[in-house]
A and B are shown apart, each in its own frame.
Chain A
């Protein structure tokens, strides 16, 4: 069997596996649900994630050890990842092939020639790693913006699957929604469409992971090379060259993605995969000048403090950046989050959303809770996001830790924020309308929302008795709307404050319940039509910020109860209360 065929099989295999892992990332134990599918495997194999988190945290989080296998294999055989395994690479490979298959050989050869601009990816890599590497100034993990594995993971999970699933609702009962997914769309579509201009455009010019592989493949023991210096110079070996590495002349080893097309396309069988360098010469070093390197390093180092001048993670932090339960404090969180979107995918209520720019530049596509999207707030009995997080930006907490039970009893429940009541928008507080939806939905026991009952005289509710019997009162006014007081919330109060529930009314009579020995006012006396209200209050000591109240609040625009990140357990400097 030809090696090129095996390469194609491998690409199809890994691409299918990758898509399957995306599909099954739903909570559940059916075969098409999460079970024990190793859905993070591609992210774990990604050495850029591993190296960048090593730079930011000075540790290699154990699941990322897989990346070592990738590195070792790359050192031995070259950039196999790009043409054999990378799902994003396979997409580019395939679309590039589709776009250019009808072109003449001469045109194809021209398309695949090496370009100086291919060094841009090294600059991107250096900038990202420099941003991660200098903790004394400030470090941040931003590789996830362009690292192909997180990029394709979130594009499939948070963009393609929700679109495809919208008509069948196979993956979720309700449509999965992701705020700002249009930006995923633009990035993803642009990356794909660029293949129409040059095949594997993203891989050749942008991909920071490819750049990392280019550097690690310098010493590859096996490499592509010509067995003769002189050949017919037909350049057919470059007609389908995926890396743009020019095997016909001096091959750029760092650009070669091991597609083996050159080997298959050489009429004279002069291109080999061998331990010997090409007899036509080879260039092993990535094409980046010292100057280019220094400039990108310096820009990377300075970029982080520049971004941090906004003080978005210190004093000027954004109150509605509510992180999932178990998220590390902001500084350490940003040192680990790779923006892969796995937490947003797995979240059963869809409440975890990709952040836009509201929390600062670094926050883009990191997880935040938006209680207005999704089917509920953060569920009391769920720790899925931390369990799936590939880098432990969200720690894999247990239910015990989240709920503050068992051995976490002393620590109390984990707070992700605090609900604040907006008394200017709350129906009972601001409009005298009965509503305790937030209280009813608070999942805690005892509830963090409690109520106090008050009776308020309604507008035009002071009436004068014209005639009264045992349980009916006829008023002089005829301004009431028939049956409007029969909801069980309305009471008829006498001057002394005693009251009885109103059971029926029309324009000028009120019927009241007689259960309370209410003394019926006589002719000429005033009565007060009152509404019984249960006004909600939030017990700040108990509230965990889960957002179920905000999700349920019937004031559907700007909710009357809203969660804000103050008081979140993860940051000591965002405490609200002096807890002793």
Chain B
């Protein structure tokens, strides 16, 4: 009797012991690593931005509007290219990429003008019948402060857009094929993943390192990580950014240009009323024209040539037969 109990107990214990040993051995076998860790951690899954561009229409690639009222200028500029309906289809999710780099007042024109953003948001909703418009950027200063102080947050939300702050979990790594610099680098990707169209709106600004910050340089705001390392080769990175992303439309706001002490400015003396607004499907052409507003030549901005050589666009904007207009 007692023996029986003992035997049963022994079998139970031995079975448990056997299972433990088997489990430990199986785990060891499955997890066994003969090679040791690699020199670098496993690369992240890489992403690529969708292509947001719309089909070309000859003669309707770039428009240049003179005037001191941004709202009127942007209406006109977009109309000259075929209207917002050409770019935004009903039900589209549109993402707007302003330059919100600094936590400064909109009056200083270091960031994209909030009224201009609001106007484009409304155009998307009212005439383009967009489903949703988002506004996002990865600024240099603290993101929340940048959006608030630049007035972009208030204006965009009032117009019905949703503001997306660049949270860490929205970044993914990307590699641009054939690139020298953008290799396995984190970019602000998640907000763009689901968008159908991308409209980028940038001010015309003097930029100490690169010469000028316009629509192409605006996409620096997509980069995450310790991106300032790229300032060691600024022209290449700007050209690569223009290769990395294909926006639907870029709007270059030269109504007021920052002609000195860029890209931060800080004084009204740094600003000049240049009364020009450009809408373009070709950002190289837009920036090539914009350079004039800063009294620069195309050759002063090597990134333009680099982008042109990469097939992003043309520096010879006249070849695109720009549409000109003046609004009052």
Q: Answer yes or no: are A and B bound together in one complex.
A: yes
Tell me whether B31 is interfacial, beta carbon within 8 Å: yes
Contact B28 A221 (CB under 8 A): no
When distances are taken between beta carbons in the complex, the residues of chain A under 8 Å from B33 are: 57, 59-62
Contact A65 B232 (CB under 8 A): no
Contact A580 B36 (CB under 8 A): no
Tell me whether A266 is interfacial, beta carbon within 8 Å: no
Choice from A60, A570, A572, A575 contacting B31 with Cβ under 8 Å:
A60
In Å, the complex CA distance between A385 and B20 comes to 35
Choice from A216, A276, A336 contacting B10 with Cβ under 8 Å:
A276
The answer to whether A578 and B225 touch (CB under 8 A), given A54-B27, A68-B28, A221-B14, is no
- For residue A68, give the distance in angstroms from its CB to the closest CB of chain B: 5
When distances are taken between beta carbons in the complex, the residues of chain A under 8 Å from B229 are: 575, 577-578
- For residue A374, give the distance in angstroms from its CB to the closest CB of chain B: 26
The answer to whether A62 and B10 touch (CB under 8 A), given A392-B37, A575-B229, A580-B180, is no
Contact B37 A328 (CB under 8 A): yes
Binary CB contact string for chain A from 312 to 326 against chain B (1 if under 8 A, 0 otherwise): 000000000000000
Tell me whether A510 is interfacial, beta carbon within 8 Å: no
In Å, the complex CA distance between A62 and B180 comes to 38
When distances are taken between beta carbons in the complex, the residues of chain A under 8 Å from B20 are: 75, 216, 219
When distances are taken between beta carbons in the complex, the residues of chain B under 8 Å from A395 are: 36-37, 39
Contact A573 B233 (CB under 8 A): no
Contact B31 A68 (CB under 8 A): no
- For residue A577, give the distance in angstroms from its CB to the closest CB of chain B: 7
Tell me whether A196 is interfacial, beta carbon within 8 Å: no
Choice from B13, B36, B232 contacting A392 with Cβ under 8 Å:
B36
Contact A578 B27 (CB under 8 A): no
Binary CB contact string for chain B from 151 to 188 against chain A (1 if under 8 A, 0 otherwise): 00000000000000000000000000000110000000
When distances are taken between beta carbons in the complex, the residues of chain A under 8 Å from B24 are: 68, 71-72, 75
Name the residue among A58, A61, A218, A578 with the largest chain B CB count within 10 angstroms: A578
Binary CB contact string for chain B from 264 to 302 against chain A (1 if under 8 A, 0 otherwise): 000000000000000000000000000000000000000
Contact B10 A58 (CB under 8 A): no
Contact A58 B31 (CB under 8 A): yes
Q: Which of A12-55 contact B (CB under 8 A)?
A: 54
The answer to whether A59 and B13 touch (CB under 8 A), given A329-B41, A578-B229, A580-B233, is no
Residue of A nearest to B31 (CB): A60
- For residue B221, give the distance in angstroms from its CB to the closest CB of chain A: 19
Tell me whether B17 is interfacial, beta carbon within 8 Å: yes
Tell me whether A547 is interfacial, beta carbon within 8 Å: no
Residue of A nearest to B16 (CB): A219
In Å, the complex CA distance between A392 and B38 comes to 10
Contact B13 A60 (CB under 8 A): no
In Å, the complex CA distance between A59 and B27 comes to 10
Residue of A nearest to B15 (CB): A219
In Å, the complex CA distance between A578 and B37 comes to 26
In Å, the complex CA distance between A60 and B21 comes to 16
The answer to whether A221 and B17 touch (CB under 8 A), given A54-B27, A578-B229, is yes
Tell me whether A277 is interfacial, beta carbon within 8 Å: yes
Q: Which of A521-580 contact B (CB under 8 A)?
A: 570, 572-573, 575, 577-578, 580
Tell me whether A396 is interfacial, beta carbon within 8 Å: yes
When distances are taken between beta carbons in the complex, the residues of chain B under 8 Å from A71 are: 21, 24
**Count of A interface residues, CB-CB < 8 Å:** 36
Choice from B36, B40, B233 contacting A396 with Cβ under 8 Å:
B36
Contact A60 B32 (CB under 8 A): yes
Residue of A nearest to B33 (CB): A59
Tell me whether A332 is interfacial, beta carbon within 8 Å: yes
**Count of B interface residues, CB-CB < 8 Å:** 30
Tell me whether B309 is interfacial, beta carbon within 8 Å: no
Contact B36 A54 (CB under 8 A): no
Choice from B13, B25, B37, B230 contacting A57 with Cβ under 8 Å:
B37
- For residue B94, give the distance in angstroms from its CB to the closest CB of chain A: 33
Residue of A nearest to B10 (CB): A275
- For residue A578, give the distance in angstroms from its CB to the closest CB of chain B: 4
- For residue B92, give the distance in angstroms from its CB to the closest CB of chain A: 35
When distances are taken between beta carbons in the complex, the residues of chain A under 8 Å from B39 are: 328, 395, 570
When distances are taken between beta carbons in the complex, the residues of chain B under 8 Å from A578 are: 181, 229-230, 232-233
- For residue A402, give the distance in angstroms from its CB to the closest CB of chain B: 12
Tell me whether A220 is interfacial, beta carbon within 8 Å: yes
Binary CB contact string for chain A from 200 to 221 against chain B (1 if under 8 A, 0 otherwise): 0000000000000000101111
Choice from B10, B21, B225 contacting A75 with Cβ under 8 Å:
B21
In Å, the complex CA distance between A76 and B22 comes to 12
The answer to whether A219 and B17 touch (CB under 8 A), given A54-B31, A60-B32, A275-B10, is yes
Contact B34 A62 (CB under 8 A): yes
Q: Which of B206-233 contact A (CB under 8 A)?
A: 225-226, 229-230, 232-233
The answer to whether A275 and B28 touch (CB under 8 A), given A219-B20, A578-B233, is no
When distances are taken between beta carbons in the complex, the residues of chain B under 8 Å from A76 are: 17, 21
Contact A65 B28 (CB under 8 A): yes
Contact A580 B181 (CB under 8 A): yes
Tell me whether A331 is interfacial, beta carbon within 8 Å: yes
Contact B36 A331 (CB under 8 A): no
- For residue B224, give the distance in angstroms from its CB to the closest CB of chain A: 11
Tell me whether B9 is interfacial, beta carbon within 8 Å: yes
In Å, the complex CA distance between A575 and B227 comes to 11
Residue of B nearest to A572 (CB): B40
When distances are taken between beta carbons in the complex, the residues of chain B under 8 Å from A62 are: 32-34, 36
When distances are taken between beta carbons in the complex, the residues of chain B under 8 Å from A332 are: 37, 41
In Å, the complex CA distance between A575 and B181 comes to 13
- For residue A51, give the distance in angstroms from its CB to the closest CB of chain B: 9
When distances are taken between beta carbons in the complex, the residues of chain B under 8 Å from A57 are: 33, 37
Q: Which of B1-27 contact A (CB under 8 A)?
A: 6, 9-10, 13-14, 16-17, 20-21, 24-25, 27
Name the residue among A54, A219, A220 with the largest chain B CB count within 10 angstroms: A219
- For residue A329, give the distance in angstroms from its CB to the closest CB of chain B: 6
Q: Which of B92-127 contact A (CB under 8 A)?
A: none
Residue of B nearest to A54 (CB): B31
In Å, the complex CA distance between A60 and B29 comes to 8
When distances are taken between beta carbons in the complex, the residues of chain A under 8 Å from B17 are: 75-76, 219-221
Contact B32 A276 (CB under 8 A): no
Contact B40 A329 (CB under 8 A): yes
In Å, the complex CA distance between A221 and B10 comes to 7
In Å, the complex CA distance between A455 and B20 comes to 78
When distances are taken between beta carbons in the complex, the residues of chain A under 8 Å from B21 are: 71-72, 75-76
- For residue A212, give the distance in angstroms from its CB to the closest CB of chain B: 12
Contact A68 B36 (CB under 8 A): no
When distances are taken between beta carbons in the complex, the residues of chain B under 8 Å from A54 are: 27, 31
Residue of A nearest to B234 (CB): A578
Q: List 29 A-B contacts (CB under 8 A).
A: A57-B37, A59-B33, A59-B37, A61-B33, A62-B32, A62-B33, A68-B24, A68-B25, A71-B24, A72-B21, A72-B24, A75-B20, A75-B21, A75-B24, A216-B20, A219-B13, A219-B20, A220-B13, A221-B17, A275-B6, A275-B14, A331-B41, A332-B37, A332-B41, A336-B37, A392-B36, A395-B36, A573-B226, A578-B233
- Which residues from chain A sit less than 8 Å from chain B, CB to CB? 54, 57-62, 65, 68, 71-72, 75-76, 216, 218-221, 275-277, 328-329, 331-332, 336, 392, 395-396, 570, 572-573, 575, 577-578, 580
- Which residues from chain B sit less than 8 Å from chain A, CB to CB? 6, 9-10, 13-14, 16-17, 20-21, 24-25, 27-28, 31-34, 36-37, 39-41, 180-181, 225-226, 229-230, 232-233
